[in-house]
Structure 1
Amino acid sequence: MGEIVNLNRFRKERARTEAKAAAAANRASHGRTKADRTKADKERTRAEQLLDGSKLED
């Protein structure tokens, strides 16, 4: 026979885990200096332009 599980406890633990993951993502994205954010934006746009420029035309 299986183990008895309190569904409320399970639901709350899953919500805590998801909240911790969201908090970690927010810390990573918002915890940077303005210089870091602009550098990342410039690198992203440069990579997109490089990728778009290297596409073959049909």
Structure 2
Amino acid sequence: MTEKPINLNRVRKARARDAARKEADANAVKFGRTKAERLLDAARTEQARRVLDAHRTEDDEEDA
């Protein structure tokens, strides 16, 4: 019986970290988007804004 005593606080905290990591991974799969998807969305939004601004007339600029 030369085993070291088990620190229950460490075991409890390690178990909580593992559970939090599993939940974070599940949320990333469920809600997350890849960096490429975010960049593509930003590029499309910027292009749409430029196209819309290019079609503005002088009357539109006074209203804005």
* TM-score, with length taken from structure 1: 0.50
**Aligned length in residues:** 33
Residue 9 (structure 1) shift: 0.6
Structure with max Cα Rg: 2
Number of the residue aligned with 1:31:
32
Q: Which consecutive unaligned segments of at least 5 residues does structure 2 have?
A: 35-64
Residue of structure 2 in register with 1:51 after alignment: none
| Residue aligned with 1:4, SS | coil
CA distance in 2, matches of 1:25, 1:18: 11
1:12-37 Cα shifts (integer Å, max 9, x gaps): 0000001000000000000148xxxx
Q: What CA distance in whole angstroms lies between the structure 2 residues aligned with 1:26 and 1:19?
A: 11
Q: Which amino acid aligns with 1:17?
A: D
CA distance in 2, matches of 1:19, 1:10: 14
Percent identical: 52
CA apart distance, 1:4: 1.0
Deviation of 1:3 (Å): 3.2
Moved over 4 A (4+): none
Aligned-residue RMSD, C-alpha: 1.7
Paired AA for residue 4 in structure 2: E
